[in-house]
Structure 1
């Protein structure tokens, strides 16, 4: 019997999958009504539990982050608003900003995590009498580094500004008070919990990664989420999240309460093992203690040869552009990977990398 392929392409970081046997039954997938006319009853419990987890006043569920960001920018970026965009923000956020720009909103693009450029952009907009709306990722999926949330949030009240974060990569992974024994922190509540910050912040998060549920949430001050609920276009013109998606989210939040911290510690152990094994064989990886691990930048032909070598060994990985604009061979570590898969993949990848380096010398 052939052994299973080692899949390093899935972003189900904690391994949550929500089989049909784990969820309650359903009589219909959707209500047939737009979201503005109401969500399935179980949605209220999910929203309240998620708000408590993230440390926000309220949560509004959405079908996807595309719907959520479109609604947020439509409602929060009024005529007297200027947008400050981190250039490495996830494409879905950038698409929504592009739409806002098409509606006449000025957009200032700043380098990735550059606090000096951020301060200058806030000053420029404030001098023009515009309210700043900063758009960025809570944790960068490219370098694995958190956005300087606390510093940014502390600067916004003086400018009457607002921070809109894509917290997809952080939710379910990062939480309060990280330390040596629990490097991701406690609870998995995301960026606000990690930073221990308060302030004018709205989070858009997909639960499809760490929590494995294909549903999104808009989290923040109740006055703003209610405004988005009433005036966001997708709430009027699109169906709400499906009954199954909401049930999966409820199941994920229950699992997180019971075993989330243990899963995160298991994941951290596997990431460290992979990084150490590659490093010992001469291959430094970027990503820090984040599930997405990448080689140094490679040209496309070399990257394709590396992928072929991994595939021949039964290992699935992928090439992608990082937050600095380079292309790297990338593997996603999850809590479901065995230590054997981790060590074998590190050995194959490192050997292939070193052979390619010798070939180019």
Structure 2
């Protein structure tokens, strides 16, 4: 069975034998009681990777964003929520909305809509907190973070990013030949953004293959969060195994990350090339979530591919839109895997199978995301 359902984009795996040993999974203490050397090592390394002054780690993005918005709500804030924001962050925002924090939405990636919301706010005395995902996996487009940040700074607010999709994939200094950039530090690094008004949260489960989450930002912001934290008082920290896997992942990223990202890009290019030659349009740009435009046939094609031994993701966007079918590309898939899946999709949808053994053009050269 060929699997195109896993979001382990770099195919980072952390077998027990590759990890630093541990004597016990947990100490029995809450996260606020003490931090281990492994935790401090991971926090320092990932803060540096994200270009932030400080970072804290937690069991999940729900934990870290719950704590973040609890801490921010101690101030006099209002929240402006990009419509493309992932549900977990929305749940964290919802808990402060019950405490009379105003929450207003605006259209996904629409700078003008956000500017209008900020300049016509019914709560001008409150500090604005703008919330968005760093990257939209459906289109492969990064959010306009530079322009969001400029608007936020003009009114003394914060920009909060959920960068789970981009962490490990995007990085600093992108170019036409290396559109992902280098380092894997995420969308803010891709834009070259460093600012005290910027707060970055992300899971490491996709890009780095570890079920742990990070929250990074300025030293004053993180100091306040740890002071106000309820999660760190009432919940256990990640296990010793998770800390070991986190540090292993960060070391692997430093040693081999750019090579894995290059391999991932080649696979995405190869997949798109086959489908374009067959006359199919594909959403996702050069991000590893690739969504062919199949109209109303997505479910039928999903079932047909499943019967042929190819697993894909069948999903719906919010708002009751028709089902869509996506292929999640990763760095471990072989050229033969990519060709077979793309050619079978082309055959099913267009009855136009590209010839095997064709010369696939220019997989290392791209024009951008």
Is TM (by shorter chain) over 0.5? Answer: yes
Q: Deviations over 1:15-68 (max 9, x none)?
A: 101011111221111121111112222110111111111100000011100001
CA distance, structure 2, for counterparts of residue 125 and residue 76 of structure 1: 19
Q: Deviations over 1:278-318 (max 9, x none)?
A: 1111211100010101122643xx32211111112110001
Match of 1:141 in 2: 137
State the shift of 1:155 in Å. Answer: 1.9
State the shift of 1:127 in Å. Answer: 5.7
Match of 1:90 in 2: 86
Match of 1:6 in 2: 2
Q: Deviations over 1:130-174 (max 9, x none)?
A: 111011001112222111111111222221110110011111111
Match of 1:314 in 2: 309
Confirm whether residue 210 of structure 1 aligns to residue 207 of structure 2. Answer: yes
Match of 1:359 in 2: none
When residues 329 and 254 of structure 1 are mapped into structure 2, their CA distance, relative to the original with a 3 A threshold, is same
Instruction: Check whether the contact 1:71–1:234 (CA below 8 A) recurs between aligned residues.
Output: yes
When residues 325 and 198 of structure 1 are mapped into structure 2, their CA distance, relative to the original with a 3 A threshold, is farther
Confirm whether residue 330 of structure 1 aligns to residue 326 of structure 2. Answer: yes
Instruction: Check whether the contact 2:299–2:324 (CA below 8 A) recurs between aligned residues.
Output: no
Confirm whether residue 77 of structure 1 aligns to residue 80 of structure 2. Answer: no
> How does 1:134-213 map onto structure 2 within 5 Å?
134-199=130-195, 200-213=197-210
Aligned partner (choices 279, 283, 287) of residue 284 of structure 2? 287
Q: Deviations over 1:95-149 (max 9, x none)?
A: 1111121121111111110001110111233863111101100111222211111
Bigger mean CA offset, 52-61 vs 115-124: 115-124
CA distance, structure 1, for counterparts of residue 98 and residue 346 of structure 2: 46
Instruction: Check whether the contact 2:130–2:152 (CA below 8 A) recurs between aligned residues.
Output: no
When residues 310 and 54 of structure 1 are mapped into structure 2, their CA distance, relative to the original with a 3 A threshold, is same
> How does 1:126-137 map onto structure 2 within 5 Å?
128-137=124-133
CA distance, structure 1, for counterparts of residue 180 and residue 318 of structure 2: 22
When residues 249 and 342 of structure 1 are mapped into structure 2, their CA distance, relative to the original with a 3 A threshold, is same
Match of 2:293 in 1: 296
When residues 127 and 239 of structure 1 are mapped into structure 2, their CA distance, relative to the original with a 3 A threshold, is closer
Match of 1:55 in 2: 51
Confirm whether residue 223 of structure 1 aligns to residue 220 of structure 2. Answer: yes
Q: Secondary structure at the match of 1:37?
A: coil
CA distance, structure 2, for counterparts of residue 114 and residue 33 of structure 1: 44
Give the root-mean-square deviation of aligned CA atoms.
1.5
> How does 1:227-242 map onto structure 2 within 5 Å?
227-242=224-239
Q: Deviations over 1:242-274 (max 9, x none)?
A: 111111110011011111001001000000110
Confirm whether residue 271 of structure 1 aligns to residue 268 of structure 2. Answer: yes
CA distance, structure 2, for counterparts of residue 27 and residue 349 of structure 1: 49
Q: Secondary structure at the match of 1:135?
A: strand
Aligned length: 349
Could you list the runs of 5+ residues in structure 1 that have no partner in the other structure?
356-361
CA distance, structure 2, for counterparts of residue 297 and residue 97 of structure 1: 34
Instruction: Check whether the contact 1:8–1:315 (CA below 8 A) recurs between aligned residues.
Output: yes
Q: Secondary structure at the match of 2:32?
A: helix
